[in-house]
Amino acid sequence: MAFEYAIALTGGIATGKSTVASLLALNGMRVIDADSIAHKILDESSPWVKETFGEEYLKANGKVDRAKLGSYIFATPEAKKTLEDFLHPKIKEEIERQSEKQDSFKFPYLIDIPLFFENNNYDIKDSVVVYTPADIQLDRFMKRNGYSEEESRRRIASQLPIEEKRKRATWIIDNSKDLKHLQNEVEQFVEKIKEIYL
């Protein structure tokens, strides 16, 4: 049975989820990354992208131009739904396959799922949210991606507000300060998990 020992790792855009996933791995935790699974499936689905959205969303090498497709998807709700309806079942199937493998170790592992609360797609009891206050989140997103404030706000608004995610979480990893603080937060979280399960 999938997800028996799984903990969902989630947060908002630009709250530092990828950094936390790397730090958790450095601290000996196993992490399944839904984003990298999604990227792989999307790249393998370039013929479908060409057929559904047009050749302009492919790069010269035939791979999907994720940045260009992303801009179109976020501005076009029906296209976003089409893409999600195609991708999500495939992503879920691969995550379940990897999850069953991880469950055999009988110790918690994390599944990095950006839209865990939004899609309510995974039967996972516990979750940890990487938390950053909304103003810092916006600032980091604009700096990281170089988008305008309007475009940044639109992308962030496509997800559940970070304060709402914080309320629903089993645990919080606070990423409102510097890297040293974040490392400390991650280490404390790993200790909590070990206390519960070891």
Please give the residue that has the higher pLDDT: either 184 or 197. Answer: 184
Q: What is the pLDDT of residues 180-189, one digit of tens each?
A: 999 999 999 9
Question: Residue 35: what pLDDT?
Answer: 87
* E strand spans, 34-94: none
Q: What is the pLDDT of residues 38-88, one digit of tens each?
A: 999 999 999 999 999 999 999 999 899 999 999 899 889 999 999 999 999
Q: What is the pLDDT of residues 122-172, one digit of tens each?
A: 999 999 999 999 999 999 999 998 889 998 998 899 899 999 999 999 999
Question: Residue 110: what pLDDT?
Answer: 97
How many CB atoms are located within 10 Å of the residue 193 CB? 20
Q: Of the candidates 140, 115, 146, 99, which has an alpha carbon nearest to the alpha carbon of residue 2?
A: 99
Nearest-10 crossing angle of helices 66-75, 46-53 = 40
Give yes or no for residue 196 having a pLDDT over 90.
Answer: no
